Amino acid sequence: MKHLMTFVLLAVSCLSLMCCNPGEKKTDDTVRVCASTYPIWLFTRSIMDGTGIEPKLVVPADVGCPHDYALTPRDLMSIQNSEKTLFLENGGGLDAQIVKSIREAAPKVVIADTSKGLEIIEGETHEHEHEAEEHEEHETEGHVHEGANGHFFASPYEAVNIVRTISKELTAHDAEHAEIYSRNTNALVKQLNSLCSEYEQTLGGLKDKKVATQHDVFSYLFRDLKFEEPHVIFTDPNAAISPAEIVAMANEFEKDGVCVIFTEPQYPDNLAQLISKETKTPVVKLDPVVSGPENPPMDYYVSKMRENMNLMKQALTR
């Protein structure tokens, strides 16, 4: 009992240090940058390359979409409550819970929305579950998200504007490295624009553009490519689905001319496979890069999006 009480007191002390007394003078002028989602962190890391400052990904790299991710005490203690800390939020409601927690625990942190200026797609209310492993301090559960669709990062077209916004926020926060930010941003934007041109050349002339997905993560990409997405599968993967329901959904897919079902590595594809068996519609797995390795190569996002492009071409030209 004595050891438990000591642990609790230490934890409280750490949180108190993290939050800091408003009247306490700061002596550490180190610039700190944090990002709420994996793709935002990837973009930020590329822009900051060469500054000697490592941006921090607040959630674990394998979490995926953090719709309702609750920051742990360890997560919060890693965010310095200082005006020198810039927190780059994803926006679109995707990380609203995370932003709320930071505003409460570290009110001095500068928070910037990386979705500023984007034409946001309105979403719907859905329930779904992650297939990701449970973390030591956080269990990912079924969740609901509604309102805006915050998955704009899954389109390289939207990524161009996100990167520019991140660069502006970094420059305003850390003018000392403005030249590096500008140079890296120009290089990354050039790569993304080149990738967008590849998408146009590879997929622009396709006739069959009616696709289904299990999650609305690719809605921005489909909008930018002028694809149709008549069906998005949202359901609890552990819930029992009757044969009659499967047949009804299969009939809808056939009636609407769906030619491929795109799934993601972050979610189980049980229902997609059942519909595929009923309709003979192929199932193809695309990676929206909402999660990934902790130390990926600098071209990880571009590389994965190029892989998606090639998989889409194969699926739609069969």
Which of the four pLDDT bands, split at 50, 70 and 90, describes residue 266?
A: confident
Helices (H), 174-242: 178-203, 219-225
pLDDT in tens, 109-148: 999 999 999 999 986 544 444 433 333 333 333 333 457 8
What single letter denotes the amino acid at residue 120? Answer: I
- Domains of the chain with CATH codes: 30-192 (3.40.50.1980), 204-316 (3.40.50.1980)
For residues 292, 294, 295, 300, the Cα torsion angle rounded to the nearest 10 degrees is 20
Give the pTM: 0.84
Q: How many other CB atoms sit within 10 Å of the CB of residue 162? A: 25
pLDDT in tens, 271-302: 999 999 999 999 999 999 999 999 999 999 99
pLDDT in tens, 149-201: 999 999 999 999 999 999 999 999 999 999 999 999 999 999 999 999 999 99
Per-residue pLDDT at 259: 94
Would the pLDDT of 25 be above 60? no
